[in-house]
Amino acid sequence: MLENREGQKVPNVTFRTRQNHDWVNVTTDEIFKGKTVAVFSLPGAFTPTCSSSHVPRFNELAPVFKKHGVDEIVCISVNDAFVMNEWALDQDADRIRFIPDGNGDFTDGMGLLVDKDDLGFGKRSWRYSMLVKDGTIEKMFIEPEKPGDPYEVSDADTMLDWLAPNAKKPHSIMLFTRKGCPFCARAKGMLHDAELEFDEIVVGDDVNLRALRAVAQTETVPQVYIDGQRIGGSEEVETWLKQNGY
């Protein structure tokens, strides 16, 4: 039975980290003392759900967490420091602090060190997240004890919905653009000015014209999509921004 440790202190351990090619000991006091920290822990670096969903969404929502009193977001996994550092680079998740629990001491102290022998992983962390204030666990979201690797409650949205139910989450924005396109530059400039993050697909580099036609039913750029809805070109983006108070 996985134990919910709300109201208890986090385990007192020292993590062996690598910073600028040197070994650096980091204690739990350094991470948690006097701060509000959102923590999420997962079975392993570079594993599918961890890389495609868990880390990216916490990284995306980090500014919203900060607005609502969270000082830092920490990812803990039973991996060594070299693996965690490389994973952080691969994920381009500069809003998250990656902490290696190489020996599993912290995870064991949380009562969440489990056998993943069937996958050849050995001892790993059960997937969970928690909000820690000054070293005391205020809230935990522990995945249900099911076969495999359930991912139902430890996600960033669940924690944010509990912490700040009315928090305004960032829009999901994607643009089709072309190099040298002045209208594309204008659309991106307006989004930057509104402090809205977006992903860009460059026609000719990332995809061909056929892909643009298949999605947008047009060959003109830019084509901007917000929260699954096609907005259109730069003029339509300007209108959308005004209508939504940007």
Q: Which positions are annotated as active-site residues?
A: 50
Going by the DSSP 8-state scheme, the letter that residue 203 receives in this structure is B
The secondary element (H helix, E strand) that includes residue 228 is none
d(CA 222, CA 28): 48
In the block, residue with structure tokens 């522990």: 142
For helices 55-67 and 156-163, give the axis angle rounded to 10 degrees: 20
d(CA 77, CA 110): 12
The secondary element (H helix, E strand) that includes residue 193 is helix 182-193
d(CA 229, CA 174): 10
C-beta separation of 16 from 82 below 8 A: no
Residue closest to 62 by CA, chosen among 193, 173, 170: 170
In the block, residue with structure tokens 């700040």: 164
